């Protein structure tokens, strides 16, 4: 919101050229720009959605690896038991 | 970056160069700093604050120069929009009501233009200020630009990125609204 007031005193003095030059500082702006552009990005895990997504992927990977291992173990035990049965028969 | 290189470059050339290398933005900064600083100063009416807000406005312009598209309007129009937004952000962040002090000679000009009240009567002047303060900010802004900041219609048109005829029409519609509100309150 704006509020307008009549200035019946002396008119507002405009800043002089020297004053304006005082605030004109391109090297500072350039420096601020560099730090703005190169600011460190937020790590992925600090993003809430990304955190849950990463966790879900890790969990799924763990479950897949686990089930693959279980299958392998099952197969190995099956072949072992098959071998012993065969051995018994030959005896 | 050698400043002599900027001097002979047009705005368009500087903008294209700044999109590739931010150092070239210095040319635009050098060219338009004073203009934008004064625009902000007229709103915030404080030298140091104007310096700070101006730096922020140029920072935004520099960071977004890649998105700038030349639509045939002057580059300053784009800068003015950013500066205006930065002023609004400043007042919002300070939770301040934006108080604009206007010289009485400018108030008289508005009164003569709309043909309301007695321009030398202080209570009539205050009444007009009340009407303007109750206007929607976007309506008040154009009145402010024309009468209090002494912008030409060409400059207003550049500011809003509209034609001069549209700027005139927009202003006179708002002045008509001011007149009607004034008359309703009398």
Binary contact (B102, A6; C-beta < 8 A) = yes
Instruction: Give the C-alpha separation, B6 to B17, whole Å.
Output: 10
Mark out chain A residues that contact chain B at CB-CB < 8 A.
1-8, 11-12, 14-15, 17, 19-20, 22-26, 28-30, 32-33, 36-37
* Nearest-neighbour CA in chain B from A27: distance (Å): 9
Query: Is the pLDDT score of A83 beyond 70?
Result: no
Q: For residue range B58-112, what is the model confidence (pLDDT) as tens digits?
A: 999 999 999 888 877 788 889 998 998 999 889 888 877 777 778 888 888 889 9
Residues B14 and B84 both lie in one domain: yes
> Per the structure, how many domains does chain A have?
1
Q: Write out pLDDT tens, residues A16-63.
A: 999 999 999 999 999 989 888 876 667 777 788 888 999 999 999 999
d(CA B142, CA B149): 10
Task: State residue A35's pLDDT score.
Answer: 85
Last residue of a domain, one of B41, B63, B93: B93
Does some domain include residue B148? yes
* pLDDT at position B140 over 80: yes
Q: Is residue B12 part of a domain?
A: yes
What pLDDT does residue B53 have?
95
**Cα–Cα distance between B111 and B120 in angstroms, integer?**
10
Residue B99 falls within a domain, yes or no? no
Chain A interface includes B50 (CB < 8 A): yes
Do A7 and B102 count as a contact with CB atoms less than 8 A apart? yes
**Are B34 and B82 within one domain?**
yes
Cross-chain residue pair B29–A11, CB shorter than 8 Å: no
> Does the pLDDT of residue A74 top 80, yes or no?
yes
Give residue-wise pLDDT tens across range B3-48: 567 778 888 899 999 999 889 999 999 999 999 999 999 888 889 9
Task: Please report, for residues B70, B148, B182, the alpha-carbon distance to residue B115 in angstroms, rounded to integers and kept in the order given.
Answer: 40, 17, 11
The closest of B131, B139, B40 to B91, measured between CA atoms, is B40
Q: What are the Cα distances from residue B35, in Å, to A74, B41, B151?
A: 80, 10, 12
| pLDDT at residue A1 is higher than 80 | no
Mutation target among B31, B38, B41 for the A interface, most CBs of A within 10 A: B41
Span of A80-84, B72-76, B107-111, B130-134 with lowest mean pLDDT: A80-84
The answer to the question of residue A1 being in a domain is no
Q: What is the pLDDT of residue A86?
A: 61
Question: Domain ends where: B41, B59, B93?
Answer: B93
**Domain match, B141 and B171 both:** yes
Q: Which two tokens stand for residue B176?
A: 């008509």
Considering the domain architecture, whether residues B151 and B75 belong to the same structural domain is answered as: no
* Residues of chain B with C-beta less than 8 angstroms from the C-beta of A16: none
How far lies A58's CA from each of A19, A61, A64, A72, in Å?
Answer: 60, 5, 10, 21
B111 & B85 share domain: no
In which element (H, E) is residue B70 found?
none
**Are B139 and B86 found together in one domain?**
no
Domain count, chain B: 2
Task: Give the domain extent around B148.
Answer: 104-185
Can you tell me the distance from the alpha carbon of A25 to that of A30, in angstroms, rounded to the nearest whole number?
9
């Amino acid at each position: 919101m704006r509020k307008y007031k009549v200035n019946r005193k002396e008119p507002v003095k405009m800043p002089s050229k020297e004053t304006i030059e005082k605030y004109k500082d391109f090297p500072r702006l350039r420096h601020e720009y560099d730090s703005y552009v190169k600011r460190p990005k937020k790590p992925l895990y600090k993003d809430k959605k990304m955190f849950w997504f990463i966790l879900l992927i890790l969990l799924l990977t763990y479950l897949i690896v686990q089930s693959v291992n279980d299958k392998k173990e099952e197969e190995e035990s099956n072949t072992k038991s098959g071998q012993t049965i065969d051995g018994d028969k030959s005896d | 970056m050698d400043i002599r290189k900027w001097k002979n470059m047009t705005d368009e050339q500087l903008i294209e160069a700044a999109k590739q290398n931010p150092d070239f933005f210095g040319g635009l900064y050098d060219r338009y700093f004073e203009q934008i600083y004064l625009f902000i100063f007229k709103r915030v009416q404080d030298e140091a604050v104007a310096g700070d807000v101006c730096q922020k406005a140029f920072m935004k312009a520099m960071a977004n120069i890649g998105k700038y598209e030349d639509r045939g309007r002057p580059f300053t129009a784009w800068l003015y929009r950013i500066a205006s937004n930065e002023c609004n952000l400043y007042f919002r962040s300070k939770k301040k009501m934006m108080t604009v002090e206007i010289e009485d000679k400018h108030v008289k000009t508005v009164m003569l233009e709309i043909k309301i009240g007695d321009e030398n009567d202080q209570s009539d002047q205050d009444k007009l200020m009340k009407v303007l303060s109750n206007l929607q900010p976007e309506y008040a802004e154009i009145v402010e630009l024309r009468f209090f900041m002494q912008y030409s219609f060409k400059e207003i048109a550049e500011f809003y990125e509209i034609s001069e005829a549209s700027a005139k029409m927009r202003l006179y519609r708002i002045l008509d609204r001011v007149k009607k509100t004034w008359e309703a309150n009398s």
